Structure 1
């Protein structure tokens, strides 16, 4: 049970960090370290993120057009989206309100994203970005049509 709480707190902390980093975005002033730490701590102490909250962070990264001509920036952007997809699966696994089989189609879409990414390798995600992003759009459409509490 302790491991589960730690995992939830870690996931919440990571979610908070991603949200704060995403809030800084391109061209805006980054938040100071103290504000970021306070926000992350508050989020970590809160309830585990819902599927919707987790997915909203992923979509905020998706909608961020920061990747420039630099290959590393584009790779990192795709890696962040992939991490968000994986965290969304974890949130789905933790959703006790959803009945058995509710997330079956979403899991198939997530499996497809992960399989493509794993086959290509983390350092070469940009080569298959169109396929990955199409799957992310499909998952987004599914999540939009199947809201959970």
Structure 2
């Protein structure tokens, strides 16, 4: 008896699948389909161009915090500048991760540099840790310079 009930249940389920599938196929064949987000996404700026833009901005907005020439004048402001710089490097890493036109492993050298920068940026206790950020600043700055040299040596486009 159980055998017969099992076949009927399978038959009912199969019929339900056919009905759902047929209902999902409705609509006009001429209906306009929307392009997927990937198809409409514009290609982003190349990583080198993004980095150049970032460095150009920092050249005029750093106020001496990253290179250490004016840290004593505004320690708290400089600590915030260092955090902003680290955030900009993180954005560049995101652009590297999202770059569809690179061969596998192309950015691995840059990732090593960014990982070291992240390690130094991870030493301060948090946003309110002015002393920690200022202590880490020379190492963060050094790694930022190394990243700049790496990007210049590997322009890709």
The answer to whether 1:109 aligns with 2:117 is: no
The one of 48, 51, 56 equivalent to 2:52 is 56
CA contact (8 A) 1:112 1:135 kept: yes
- 1:52 counterpart SS class: helix
Structure-to-structure mapping, 1:110-125, within 5 angstroms? 110-121=114-125, 122=127, 123=129, 124-125=132-133
Match of 2:141 in 1: 133
Question: Per chain length, whose mean CA-contact separation is higher, i.e. which structure has more relative contact order (CA < 8 Å, sep 6+)?
Answer: 2
Number of aligned pairs?
109
Distance 1:126 1:57 in 2: 25
The answer to whether 1:145 aligns with 2:145 is: no
The answer to whether 1:99 aligns with 2:107 is: no
Larger radius of gyration: 2
Distance 1:49 1:75 in 2: 29
Question: TM-score under structure 2 normalisation?
Answer: 0.60
Distance 1:56 1:141 in 2: 11
Structure-to-structure mapping, 1:33-72, within 5 angstroms? 47-64=43-60, 65-66=62-63, 67=65, 68=70, 69-72=73-76
Greater fraction of residues in helix: 1
CA contact (8 A) 2:120 2:140 kept: yes
Match of 1:85 in 2: 89
- Would you identify which runs of 4 or more consecutive aligned residues in structure 1 move more than 4 Å? none
